[in-house]
């Protein structure tokens, strides 16, 4: 599990939008997928995830709807909106730039001093 919640918290909306860009999902499904893909580094409780989803919904990045599954149980599903896709594309560009900058600093690049 990632220890720095600040680092993780800032990237949570981007990770959720990335999952929703692939397909519509319900909350617990997103929790499981984040844990699996991150090899258990990202572990969310429902009480942590849903406030983030609700903020994203209020911002117009995702929309929620109820859907009845095979078991007959109604679940709240989320799908990414057009605005959410635009925000995700922008955040991915910023993230790649940030990661590249960090890598240049910590990667031990040798610079000649003149």
44-76 residue pLDDT tens: 888 889 999 999 999 999 999 999 978 888 999
pLDDT exceeds 60 at position 21: yes
pTM for the model stands at 0.79
Q: Which distant-in-sequence residues (6+ apart) come within 8 Å of 67 by Cβ?
A: 26, 74, 75, 77
Whether the CB-CB separation of 19 and 25 falls below 8 Å is answered with: yes
Longest distance between any two alpha carbons in the chain, whole Å: 72
């Amino acid at each position: 599990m990632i220890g720095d919640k600040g680092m993780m918290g800032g990237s949570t909306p981007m990770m959720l939008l990335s999952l929703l860009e692939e397909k519509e999902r319900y909350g617990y499904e997103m929790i499981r997928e984040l844990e699996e893909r991150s090899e258990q580094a990202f572990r969310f409780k429902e009480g942590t995830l849903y406030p983030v989803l609700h903020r994203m919904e209020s911002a117009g990045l995702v929309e929620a709807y109820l859907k009845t599954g095979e078991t007959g149980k109604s679940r709240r599903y989320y799908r990414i909106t057009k605005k959410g896709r635009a925000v995700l594309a922008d955040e991915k560009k910023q993230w790649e730039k940030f990661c590249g900058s960090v890598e240049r600093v910590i990667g031990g690049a040798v610079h000649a001093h003149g």
